[in-house]
């Protein structure tokens, strides 16, 4: 597995890339900064929202494996799975609340780590 940062050449909002997912995860909360990554065919959004760090993993072709989740936690957060919160049923939760997707989404996982606001 290889984690690659995707360069962003323009000043774009995260909502431009993933409008429904961004609204569902963040609502009206402000985001300090975000980075986009790719892990094989999984798209990863790293977003710092001041009090917590959210990592959103999106795959259009297959389910995201536990090994991939652990790899991303280790590489991007330098921590273990026990110190973060992993939300696995995000796609189903979004569909139940009436969100639709412009592109097919096979699996969406959100990893959250609380940060001391100091």
Do 20 and 100 meet the contact criterion of CB atoms below 8 Å apart? yes
Per-residue pLDDT, 101? 82
Task: List pLDDT tens digits, range 68-104.
Answer: 999 999 999 999 999 999 999 898 999 999 988 878 8
Do 58 and 18 meet the contact criterion of CB atoms below 8 Å apart? yes
pTM above 0.85, yes or no: yes
Domains of the chain: 3-114 (3.40.1720.10)
């Amino acid at each position: 597995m290889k984690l690659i940062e995707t360069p962003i050449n323009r000043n774009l909002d995260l909502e431009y890339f993933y409008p429904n997912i961004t609204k569902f995860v963040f609502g009206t909360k402000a985001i300090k900064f975000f980075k986009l990554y790719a892990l094989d065919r999984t798209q990863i959004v790293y977003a710092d929202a001041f009090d917590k760090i959210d990592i959103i993993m999106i795959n259009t072709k297959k389910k995201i494996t536990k090994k991939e989740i652990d790899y991303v936690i280790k590489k991007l957060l330098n921590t273990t799975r026990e110190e973060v919160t992993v939300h696995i049923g995000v796609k189903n939760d979004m569909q139940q609340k009436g969100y639709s997707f412009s592109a097919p989404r096979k699996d969406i996982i959100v990893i959250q780590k609380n940060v001391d606001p100091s």
